[in-house]
Every structure is written in C-alpha cells, then in structure tokens.
Amino acid sequence: MTDTTARVHELNLYRQYFDLVAAGTKTIEVRVKYPHLADLAAGDIIRFRIKGTDETCEVKAKRVTEYPNFEALLDGEGPGNVNPTANREQQLANIRTIYPPEKEALGALAIEIQRFDQ
C-alpha cells in the first residue's frame, strides 16, 4: 500500500511576500536549497506563516526546479512570477539581502505554487 497523503511543509514569509501569495499573484517562491527542503516535491502542501503571528496561507507545490543561483532562477522563471511588484534588479537585491552569498552557493529552488481556491 502506498501513502498518498500530501506532506505539509511550514515556511515563514515576510509580510510583503505573504500578501502576494495570499492574493494569488506570486506564483513562484524562491528558497535556498537547504537540506530540509530536499524532499519538497510537486503535490506537497506548503503552509506559509508570517513569523511571530498566527496568519497562514496554504498552497500546493506544482513544481520544484533547482537553479545554480538566483540570477539563473529569475531568468528561468520570469521576475513577474516571483514578485510582480518589483523589477529583476530589485528582486535580485532583495533576495540577496535575505540570503547571503554562502547560502546562495547551496543552490536556489523555484517552487511553483498555487492557491487551493484558484
């Protein structure tokens, strides 16, 4: 017998990105390829939370794609899918503020997400 229960991953998000996910306008989430995300796969559920609050938003992972760095990720996925409110250069600067070079060196993950009600 196979287990078809979707795995649930809890991830924190800053308010500005959480609001874009909740609105359904952010369709690609960017993460560093940390070991705890190695098993993240299409079909899994991601519960985003604003750190320090009870606010959550659940989405389904439609696809997980690995890139060598954030520049390649933005070029491959399109900046408008990652953050429709900022251009490529602004997004790259914002992402690198969150993740320093030693974290980016681990690799970048583009997680295509979809709200359940869309």
- Res 2: pLDDT: 53
Per-residue pLDDT of the chain (118 residues; tens, 9 = 90+): 455 677 999 999 999 999 999 999 999 999 999 999 989 999 999 999 998 899 999 999 999 999 999 999 999 999 999 999 999 999 999 999 999 999 999 999 999 999 987 5
Domain 8-115: CATH superfamily is Hypothetical protein. (2.30.130.30)
Locate the domains of the chain by residue range.
Answer: 8-115
CB 42 within 8 A of CB 61: yes
pLDDT of residue 4: 61
Cα(88)–Cα(82) distance, rounded to whole angstroms? 9
To the question of pTM greater than 0.75 for the whole model, the response is yes
Which residues of the chain form beta strands (DSSP E)?
8-13, 28-32, 45-50, 56-67, 108-115
